[in-house]
């Protein structure tokens, strides 16, 4: 340990914000993220219709449901780029069933935020469906929801970051770039 580390401006000893994340990570459920209402479409809907609904709802995905209203798949903005535009498919003539991700991983309202973060981090998901016990969509959880939750846990730190995107570093920290 460097002799100035304990006294520098970046020391978090005694910082109540740092201590508030522990219980939150282990106890907060996905419900605290205030998930958005999902946009749901049937498998026969076109990519064009899905894209229009996504834009109108300001969401990055639509959930594809079967006749019983149960989750059958998810179609995201990433799918639009890679599976539709990237392949030269016609959005007005392509059904969601052709380009959706079938049987996606899901979250339940009682799942911990830590589990959602784990799923998103490991698999690279930016959007996850939230379903009930019958696998009917009840919400959408996004990376932005998690970031907003984190910012709420550390309001003083977030509000006091310097403008311009400067990264705070601890003294003695080596920047390899």
Give the confidence band of 168 by pLDDT, cuts at 50, 70, 90.
low
Mean pLDDT, the chain, whole residue set: 83
DSSP code, position 100: S
- 25 with 114: CB under 8 angstroms? yes
CA gap 39, 137 in Å, rounded = 9
CA gap 125, 114 in Å, rounded = 14
Does residue 49 have a pLDDT over 60? yes
More confident residue, 169 or 7: 169
57-66: which pairs have CB atoms within 8 A and are 24 or more residues apart? 59/127, 59/140, 60/126, 60/127, 60/142, 61/127, 61/140, 62/38, 62/96, 63/38, 63/39, 63/129, 63/137, 63/140, 64/40, 64/96, 64/97, 64/100, 65/40, 65/41, 65/136, 65/137, 66/42
pLDDT tens digit sequence for 80-115: 999 999 999 999 999 999 999 999 999 999 999 989
CA gap 28, 114 in Å, rounded = 8
pLDDT tens digit sequence for 113-133: 989 999 999 999 999 999 999
CB atoms closer than 10 angstroms to residue 111: 18
CB atoms closer than 10 angstroms to residue 103: 11
């Amino acid at each position: 340990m460097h002799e100035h580390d304990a006294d520098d401006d970046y020391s978090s000893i005694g910082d109540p914000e740092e201590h508030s994340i522990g219980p939150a990570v282990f106890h907060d459920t996905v419900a605290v993220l205030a998930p958005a209402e999902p946009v749901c479409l049937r498998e026969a809907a076109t990519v064009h219709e899905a894209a229009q609904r996504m834009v109108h709802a300001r969401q990055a995905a639509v959930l594809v449901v079967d006749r019983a209203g149960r989750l059958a798949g998810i179609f995201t903005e990433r799918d639009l780029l890679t599976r539709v535009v990237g392949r030269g498919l016609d959005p007005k003539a392509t059904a969601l069933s052709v380009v959706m991700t079938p049987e996606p991983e899901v979250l339940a309202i009682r799942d911990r935020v830590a589990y959602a973060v784990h799923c998103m981090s490991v698999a690279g998901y930016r959007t996850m469906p939230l379903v009930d016990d019958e696998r009917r969509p009840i919400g959408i959880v996004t990376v932005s929801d998690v970031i907003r939750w984190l910012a709420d846990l550390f309001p003083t730190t977030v509000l006091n970051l310097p403008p311009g995107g400067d990264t705070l570093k601890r003294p003695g920290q080596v920047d390899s770039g």
